[in-house]
Amino acid sequence: MNKILVFGATGKIGRRLVNLLAAAPGVEVIASVRTDADAVEFSAKGIKTVTIDLDSFEKDGLGALIGKMKGIHSVYLLTGYTVNMLAHSKAVVDAAKVVGVQHIVHSGAYASPDTTIVHLGWHQLVEAYIERSGISYTHLHPNSYMQLLLGLGQIIDGNGVLQWYSGNATVSWVDCEDIALVASKVLLAPERYSGQSIPLAYDIASFPQIAALFSTVLNQPFTYINNPPSVFYERVVAAGFDPTYSRCLVNVFSRQADGSLVEKADTFDNFEHITGRKPTTLLQFIQKHKNNLVRK
């Protein structure tokens, strides 16, 4: 059996990826979870899990991680959105090399090679380390997740409002389920995609245009309110997000708005070739998730 270990299994990409791999013949998918409670949903479906807290290896060393990764052929690597992604990813790669993992699929982010956006540089450093390890690899580079739109709309005093932080900038988008589908295709035929970096972005829209799509699908007028990126920082840090990572996103929104992030609206035509179907459009995504788009 081809044993595939999925990090980030409880996330928007990882959960879908685990289900896709579980349905594939000749594959044993193993979901990496942080706690035993996280394992319940997978165990209920007969999917194997392994409890791995990547924070523990800074103090304890790699021994336990190596033990938990023995017998794994391929790894899907998506780590948490903090500066610790550097240490976490390094630990996984080092353990993977010891146990003989044959292929790593890293889910990073789309950026120009010379990006000065800090967290995008972190992804590039992780990928350079993977390449340096000598393990066969494929890098996935998605741009803006469509799932960011879920729950973003609000109904205030009967009026539809969509709030964001990037002005009228047009950016490119990808559905997390489409990222998972690409990842599954790569993990099931890694030799076909070895050494490749695959950009993932298939539809473009500004937030005023997205507000118009909300209006069409939800049959209610929506307006767009642009907040300063500093408002984003205050809100997410108060909610417990990593301040360093959050400052990176403030920079992204600011540079999207002022036009200096020149790659922000790049799109690609590789999805149908990899998966055999067309990628999800923003209109299709909003139609599919319309019941989850708005908070009262």
Whether the CB-CB separation of 172 and 264 falls below 8 Å is answered with yes
pLDDT at residue 1 greater than cutoff 90: no
Residue 18 falls inside a structural domain:
yes
What CATH number corresponds to the domain at position 103?
Answer: 3.40.50.720
Distances (CA, A) of 32 to 37, 39, 52, 64, 72: 12, 8, 6, 14, 12
Number of domains in the chain: 1
Q: Is residue 294 part of a domain?
A: no
Q: Quick one: pLDDT band at residue 168, thresholds 50, 70, 90? A: very high
Tell me whether residue 37 is in a domain.
yes
Q: Please give the pLDDT value at position 296.
A: 77
End-to-end C-alpha distance for the chain, whole angstroms: 48
Structural domain that includes position 75: 2-143+174-201+266-279
Q: From CA 226, how far away is CA 290, in angstroms rounded?
A: 22
Q: What is the pLDDT of residue 52?
A: 95
11 lies in a domain?
yes
pLDDT tens for residues 199-237?
A: 999 999 999 999 999 999 999 999 999 999 999 999 999
Burial of 164 (0-12, 13-18, 19+ CB in 10 A): buried
What percent of the chain is modeled with pLDDT above 70?
100
For residue 114, tell me if it sits in a domain.
yes
Residue 238 lies in a domain: no
- Dump pLDDT digits (tens) for 89-101: 999 999 999 999 9
Do the domain assignments include residue 31?
A: yes
Q: Read off the pTM.
A: 0.96
Mean pLDDT of the 133-140 span: 98
pLDDT at 158: 80
Q: Please tell me the distance from the alpha carbon of residue 81 to that of residue 93, in angstroms, as a whole number.
A: 18
Q: Do the domain assignments include residue 183?
A: yes
Task: Quickly state the pLDDT bin for 58 (edges 50, 70, 90).
Answer: confident
